[in-house]
Chain A
Amino acid sequence: MSRKAPNGLRTAGTGAGNPSSSGLPIISSDDMCPVCKTIRYLNKDMEFLINPECYHTMCVNCVNRLFNDGPNQCPYAGCHRTLRRKGFRSAFFGDLSVEREVDIRRRVAAVFNQVEDDFETLRDYNNHLQTVEDLTFDLVSGAEPRRAAAEATLQRWEAEHKAEIERNRRAGREADEQSRRRLAAERDAARHRRAEAVREAEEEKMERERTREAELDSLAQGAEGGGVGGPQRVQLKRRGQAASRAVEAAVGAAVTTAADVGRLSIRGLKEKKRGPAAEGPYDPFGGMDFVPSRYQVRPGLAHPGIDKYRLDPGHVTGGYSFDEHTARAMFEAFAGLGVFIEDEKEVGIGLDAGEVATISAGISAVGDRMELD
């Protein structure tokens, strides 16, 4: 029975994909149920179902009629599969061979679910993709022995890499979830902005209306001269407020996008595995050296001002080197040279990079806004 199944299947597939090949005048499979021969004319909302066991189409009525009382044989001639009502569903694709292929792909993709990150070189990844594709092809359209071999490979792989598969599955789901959330957030933001724009336009219109009325009123009351300047000034002020609000919003957007970029995971090939780098001798200062750069302390510096202390027992005690004193004196003299506080204030080194970015984003946003106005 199992040997016959692919044959039956193939005919079904080609029948759906290429109706003219059979030679019979076929009413489009969309319009007639092949089992009970009902046509769409008689039943307007006829719906077709398939069962992934054999992919034979039939209408809902037939499915109810045949499989209501438990499992039954497929009504197609020559197909002896036993079908259950639970297995029936409507097909996503018009071409049922593609539907079947996608079902198989779903299975394969659940097992071979490595992503590009899991490979070290692009070439490995591409080779992997090709082997998977070959295997899928064998499963979809290979001859019986190849199909069996592919099936076996699939199962072996599944058994061998159980943990890995599970891990990848979870990671994939998370990534999907994240991208979905990002999309939703973007859509929300866009909707929000749209509503905002509409509201603003509305407000401006109302405002214009109001000022016009106010102007008319003031004219009607006969206050000469002063009536015109007031409302205009108010409008200008309002416009300025609107502009500043827009700038704030832009800055906010810049900040959030920056945050998004930070969160965004950049995917690509996995780091190559390298041996640990050779370690040198341990350095407690982490590579920092304390050789002064601006001056040099010579040992045994001779200077009349200090020579006399060199031999003074009051200054020389155990564990104290006189050179230490000269070195320290030099250090203190030079510390702080080359640091200009005024300059640093201007440049704002004290701010961290994030703040600077925000400021510049704000500035550019202001620039845009000004151009518009």
Chain B
Amino acid sequence: MEFNIDDLPVLFPYPRIYPETLDAGGNCVLEMPSGTGKTVTLLSLIVAYQQFYPSHRKLIYCSRTMSEIEKALVELHALMKFRTERLGYEEEFRGLGLTSRKNLCLHPSVKREKSGNVVDARCRSLTAGFVKEKKERGEDVEVCVYHDNLDLLEPHNLIPNGIWTLDGLLRHGEQHKQCPYFTARRMMQYCNVIIYSYHYLLDPKIADRVSKELSKDCIVVFDEAHNIDNVCIESLSTDITEDSLRRATRGAQNLENKINEMRDSDQQKLQDEYEKLVEGLRGADDGRQEDSFMANPTLPDDLIKEAVPGNIRKAEHFVAFLRRFIEYLKTRMKVRQVISETPPSFLAHLKEYTFIEKKPLGFCSERLTSLVRALELTNIEDYQPLQEVATFATLVATYEKGFLLILEPYESDTAEVPNPVLHFTCLDAAIAIKPVFDRFSSVVITSGTMSPLEMYPKMLNFPTVVQESYSMTLARRSFLPMIVTRGSDQASISTSFQVRNEPSVVRNYGSLLTEFAKITPDGMVVFFPSYLYMESIISMWQGMGILDEVWKYKLILVETPDAQETSLALETYRTACCNGRGAVLLCVARGKVSEGIDFDHQYGRTVLCIGVPFQYTESRILKARLEFLRETYRIRENDFLSFDAMRHAAQCLGRVLRGKDDYGLMVLADRRFARKRAQLPKWINQALLDADTNLSTDMAVSSARRFLRTMAQPFRAKDQEGISTWSMTDLRRHQEKMGEERIRELQAERDLEREHEAAAMAAQAAADGRESDYEMDEEDEAQLMALDIPS
């Protein structure tokens, strides 16, 4: 269907639209219920905008996981196909997805590697610039055919127009013998739409290389962005362990050997590098090279534009410098108590003991990159730990505020054997995302669960134009949120630390589980606040015989921290749901299942959230962050903790409802949820009746039974029409109504304006009058003067 929004013709690929999907962008934060078509709305709007206005602003669409990227690409593909059909001609349009080398590699031996790091390193060793030079010189080196074939093509037309999903890209690459990864990387400048992961934009180590050439007027969309602050923080934090230091020492040793070799064989290259550093030249293309070893971890604004300091200019000096720094860190790691200190105090201590100044430390990663390039190292994965240390050095020397060093000598409080870890944590999410807001004029942050919305602008420190939470329009109550605060015996249930292991609480949770397992058709998902608690409560249930009871109705499957086990469990779960046996999946609110895995239709009819999923508050990193938030952004500890817990709870609840023809029960089982009701997203909160906020297990079960009975009635798609799905005529009507309202508003505005104008005119006139008083001509002047003189 086709319609206009503010004179912008929008082509929508589906014949029906949901009424939520009417909005227009700026710097905005949007919350839309899951399954109402966020992705396709945003895409169709922005594509329409792109095609309608001649400026052709580029769209950067960031999502979280591979599967979400792929989903967005498929949506885009459908959209473009529809547009072509509708418009009758094919538009000049190119959309690409980008993911890691591991997923896009075609090289016969490299693609078989398991770890992403190894793939990256091997790929670099086959495709780096100097490898090609060597090949041209006639030396016998291994190269990648797929990559070299790219050079034979026109550099701006590596791939024909159209939308390329990741699979499509792979197939195209296989057919034409060209590397999909580098095709995507090089074509990014010529694309209309790019879809990739957050990290390509937020992590300064990657963003500098990948996203540097994107122009200022790009439209940036962060989808599934409820965790964006954590992504920002992770991208700037590093952890250093004793093992990584040991390997870094070995790396430094290797580097020294290489330098000595080089000095004997090819003095010139080292000399060249040295000269370049003396001049303070930074190779124009250094940062942008696709194959560079590592990029500077700091953000572009904080980069020091200066020549490298004199005392690390020479290669051997630099290696000694690194060695000293590593030894210092090793010594610090020997301390057996917890230390937390700010970067300035760390630097002061460092200077006192090793005479390393702040400035050369800041240049560390840049200098290492330059050295690695000069030495033409190929087995780069050996230097990974060294690179980590260099990254840490640069970060600690660059940022004074918003970071903290925490040394934890023991893994847990009870551990006897020390295993020291030096966390360098970023506390301020705004630091990493700032360049994105600075560079791009329109940024859209959106997710299904982002309540309360005002928290995000506050934490990320940016102003918003639009900040909207859309509610859901439903023809029937298709989901039933409930808050269960008491067990059947009227004892309150809670997972707060004091009572969580009391037998009565555990038994009440158990009976809740059994009751809902009895009445729920097909699949049921249960979320616990942590792995630890899940394990202890399961073992207690086993002892009480509750699991046996549940077993009669449903299969029981458990999520574990191991990814493979979990995926096996998920597969079994889906089979059980499909063949009618039904299953219960026990999982953790911050685990893999709670993010990104959908339980639509029969896969999830009930989601049971046992306990408020608070973070582990004894973690020192979390404590530091809470304190930072209080001091800088005036967000109180408890506010942040409960915000964070509720967004995870909402994320869990959202798993079950993935569209308007879906239905499901949402049960929040904790006494404390009753007070946190306002923090749920608007669309859930709206559906939550007052009567359902303080239930006991038996009441909850009876109302759930009633709900399921209504849901069992036949439901035709026609019933939804005009309420939760709109056809063209409905849309027209809505637009007319909106238009009328708009006109009325405008009229009111105009009236106001007119009044203002009148007032302004009067003021202007008065001012004019006053001004004219001061204008005198010569004659008056003379007259005045004449008066002055007594005659």
Query: Is the beta-carbon distance between A305 and B316 smaller than 8 angstroms?
Result: no
Query: Is the beta-carbon distance between B310 and A129 smaller than 8 angstroms?
Result: yes
Query: Is the beta-carbon distance between B320 and A101 smaller than 8 angstroms?
Result: yes
Shortest C-beta distance, A123 to chain B (Å), equals: 7
B616 at the interface (CB under 8 A from A): no
Shortest C-beta distance, A318 to chain B (Å), equals: 22
Contacts of A102 on B, CB cut-off 8 Å?
A: 324, 353-355
Shortest C-beta distance, B737 to chain A (Å), equals: 34
Contacts of A134 on B, CB cut-off 8 Å?
A: 314
Contacts of A180 on B, CB cut-off 8 Å?
A: 348
Query: Is the beta-carbon distance between A128 and B310 smaller than 8 angstroms?
Result: yes
Shortest C-beta distance, B632 to chain A (Å), equals: 11
Query: Is the beta-carbon distance between B331 and A130 smaller than 8 angstroms?
Result: no
Query: Is the beta-carbon distance between A183 and B344 smaller than 8 angstroms?
Result: yes
Query: Is the beta-carbon distance between A190 and B328 smaller than 8 angstroms?
Result: no
Shortest C-beta distance, B175 to chain A (Å), equals: 52
Query: Is the beta-carbon distance between A333 and B784 smaller than 8 angstroms?
Result: yes
B264 at the interface (CB under 8 A from A): no
Query: Is the beta-carbon distance between B355 and A194 smaller than 8 angstroms?
Result: no
CA distance A329 to B344 in the complex (A): 67
Q: Per-residue 0/1 for B431-469: is the Cβ within 8 Å of any A Cβ (1 yes, 0 no)? A: 000000000000000000000000000000000000000
Query: Is the beta-carbon distance between B791 and A305 smaller than 8 angstroms?
Result: yes
Query: Is the beta-carbon distance between A93 and B328 smaller than 8 angstroms?
Result: yes
Shortest C-beta distance, A205 to chain B (Å), equals: 11
Given A122-B307, A372-B634, A137 contacting B320 (CB threshold 8 A): yes
Residues 160-189 of A contacting B (Cβ, < 8 Å): 176, 179-180, 183
With an 8 Å Cβ cutoff, the count of chain A residues facing the other chain is 45
Query: Is the beta-carbon distance between A129 and B344 smaller than 8 angstroms?
Result: no
Nearest residue (CB) in B for A309 is B789
Query: Is the beta-carbon distance between B310 and A190 smaller than 8 angstroms?
Result: no
Shortest C-beta distance, B516 to chain A (Å), equals: 36
Residues 375-399 of B contacting A (Cβ, < 8 Å): none
Q: Out of B309, B313, B330, B348, which one reaches A183, CB within 8 Å?
A: B348
A356 at the interface (CB under 8 A from B): no
Q: Per-residue 0/1 for B341-361: is the Cβ within 8 Å of any A Cβ (1 yes, 0 no)? A: 010110010000111000000
Query: Is the beta-carbon distance between B310 and A92 smaller than 8 angstroms?
Result: no
CA distance A268 to B580 in the complex (A): 75
Q: Per-residue 0/1 for A1-43: is the Cβ within 8 Å of any B Cβ (1 yes, 0 no)? A: 0000000000000000010000000000000000000000000
Residues 755-781 of B contacting A (Cβ, < 8 Å): 774, 781
Q: Per-residue 0/1 for A33-58: is the Cβ within 8 Å of any B Cβ (1 yes, 0 no)? A: 00000000000000000000000000
Query: Is the beta-carbon distance between A95 and B327 smaller than 8 angstroms?
Result: yes
Contacts of B284 on A, CB cut-off 8 Å?
A: none
Nearest residue (CB) in A for B308 is A126
Contacts of A295 on B, CB cut-off 8 Å?
A: 781
Residues 222-256 of B contacting A (Cβ, < 8 Å): 253
Shortest C-beta distance, B507 to chain A (Å), equals: 32
Query: Is the beta-carbon distance between B627 and A130 smaller than 8 angstroms?
Result: no
Query: Is the beta-carbon distance between B324 and A333 smaller than 8 angstroms?
Result: no
Residues 322-341 of A contacting B (Cβ, < 8 Å): 326, 329-330, 332-333, 337
B631 at the interface (CB under 8 A from A): yes
Shortest C-beta distance, A188 to chain B (Å), equals: 13
A270 at the interface (CB under 8 A from B): no
A132 at the interface (CB under 8 A from B): yes
Given A125-B310, A129-B311, A306-B789, A190 contacting B634 (CB threshold 8 A): no
Contacts of A126 on B, CB cut-off 8 Å?
A: 278, 307-310, 313
| Residues of B near any A CB (own CB < 8 A) | 253, 278, 306-311, 313-314, 316-317, 320, 323-324, 327-328, 330-331, 334, 342, 344-345, 348, 353-355, 627, 630-631, 634, 774, 781-782, 784-786, 788-789, 791
Sample of 15 A–B contacts (CB below 8 Å): A18-B253, A101-B320, A102-B353, A105-B355, A123-B307, A129-B311, A133-B311, A134-B314, A179-B344, A180-B348, A303-B782, A306-B789, A332-B788, A333-B781, A333-B785
